[in-house]
Amino acid sequence: MAGTDDHKVVFSGKKREATSDFDGDDLIVAKKSASGHVSSWEDPVAAIASARHEFGEHGGVNMSIEASATFTVMEPETMRRMFSGELGPDRDFFIYSRHFNPTVLNLSRQMAALEGTEAAYCTASGMSAISSVLMQLCSSGDHVVASRSLYGGTYALLKHFLPRASNVTTTFVDVKDHGMVRDAIVEGRTKVLYVETIANPTLAVANVPELCRIAHNKGVKVVVDNTFAPIVLSPARLGADVVVHSISKYVSGGADIIAGAVCGPESLVNSMMDLHQGTLMLLGPTMNAKVAFELAERLPHLGLRMKEHCHRALVYATRMKKLGLKVIYPGLKEHPQHDLLKSMANRDYGFGGILCVDMETEDRANKLMHHLQNCTQFGFMAVSLGYYETLMSCSGSSTSSEMNAEDKALSGISPGLVRMSIGYNGTLEQKWSQFEKAIARMQDSGILIKN
């Protein structure tokens, strides 16, 4: 069995422990199963490549799938020791897959490497990752300060669900206004500051280092949703305590899987898996091992995919602006947080793969999407993002429909805002000509005025 300098050769499964291939050091690496720690963290792509490569049970280049709900023990005493916490996944002892599953741990290790955190744990959806981490960090009576520019589901969770179900309340703020953030923190009661790196759908960019400074000064943990900017931004490297993901988007890239992740300190992940008090353990938003395997095959090319998403988004945003469209894209110099994003971003990956075109009214937004999908095949009318095809939706009436009109206006969501997740299918020029054709048709029919 061969390995590279970077890749320690590690076999999964207790049966392998007795073989001479498995030396003591490898055993220790194998046992840091939730940890994605790499010694020289340069950027997320390098970190993913440096994470331990897991080979299959029979020497396959891909890891085996541990498709078991439950695990056997050789001695009855072992079961008691596992339940008491004395023997755990760090020593290759597994109880039950809602708790820890080796294949899910392998994906979790990749996610921890991606975000440069000590550990990570993968879940059945992005929402379950978000709700579980918030419920772990907050108890009844606690308070959250959150950005008012958030994915609609997260907004509804904080605004409606958590106050009812857990007596955890939220103050929504403009995170660009650091004074407002500071004033909203109630010392002793506020436990979490919650933001999205690049907000859905407004594409406002959060100043992660400064927000972390403000929060940490008051003993508040910072939880950052990095769904819109994997690879591009590394919030934990900028000071965030916890990074959450909807893996369903860019990390998956296939628009075929719903999944999520919590990336953070090992102590947090362990607390979330605690048999008595852990939200992941007790609410059970468990990822299936077969899903974890599928996703683990996609992490190695996430960097390449992000580069192309970002490249095309920048080219299209620049050209759309020239056509006279009202484009919002943080890669454009005139975006209010362009310099901030540049100062925080990992080098050479770009500024995100999402852009917005503000058509001002829902009717004009719908007409644009109709032409782009049904007349010229530029993309699909669908929510979500990170797919190889371009996906378009009118956010105000879809993924932000949970917000009332006032909150939408406050967060800057115009009724005609069309969010586009730029794909990389086909050639850049082929797709651009489809976009131009749709615009020309709209101009011919008087919906858009020629520039």
Residues making contact with ligand PLP (CB under 6 A): 125-127, 151, 153-154, 196, 200, 225, 227-228, 246, 248, 258, 260
Q: b/e string for 51-85 if b means 16 or more Cβ within 10 A?
A: bbbbbeeeeeeebbbbeeeebebeeeeeeeebeee
Least distance between ligand PLP and beta carbon 354 (Å): 10
For 375, how many CA atoms within 13 A lie in the half-sphere containing its CB? 16
Output 190 or 202, the one with its CB closest to ligand PLP.
202
Residue in the shown chain whose Cβ atom is closest to ligand PLP:
126
With the CA atoms of 44, 47, 52 and 53 taken in that order, what torsion angle do they form, in degrees rounded to the nearest 10?
A: 60
Least distance between ligand PLP and beta carbon 248 (Å): 4
Output 44 or 89, the one with its CB closest to ligand PLP.
44
Output 89 or 152, the one with its CB closest to ligand PLP.
152
DSSP symbols for 423-442: --SS-HHHHHHHHHHHHHHH
- Tell me the two tokens of residue 22: 């498995």
**Site of tokens 């058509």:** 359
Output 151 or 351, the one with its CB closest to ligand PLP.
151
For 53, how many CA atoms within 13 A lie in the half-sphere containing its CB? 18
Output 87 or 341, the one with its CB closest to ligand PLP.
341
Least distance between ligand PLP and beta carbon 383 (Å): 7
The CA distance from 255 to 164, in Å, is 32
Least distance between ligand PLP and beta carbon 154 (Å): 6
Least distance between ligand PLP and beta carbon 142 (Å): 21
Least distance between ligand PLP and beta carbon 29 (Å): 30
Closest CA to 152 of 401, 446, 417: 401
Secondary element (H or E) of residue 109: helix 102-115
Residues for the chain: how many in total?
451
Output 35 or 132, the one with its CB closest to ligand PLP.
132
Output 38 or 175, the one with its CB closest to ligand PLP.
175
Output 126 or 423, the one with its CB closest to ligand PLP.
126
Residues 147/400, Cβ–Cβ less than 8 Å = no
Least distance between ligand PLP and beta carbon 388 (Å): 18
Residues 6+ positions from 292 with CB-CB distance below 8 Å: 65, 101, 103, 104, 106, 107, 122
Least distance between ligand PLP and beta carbon 151 (Å): 4
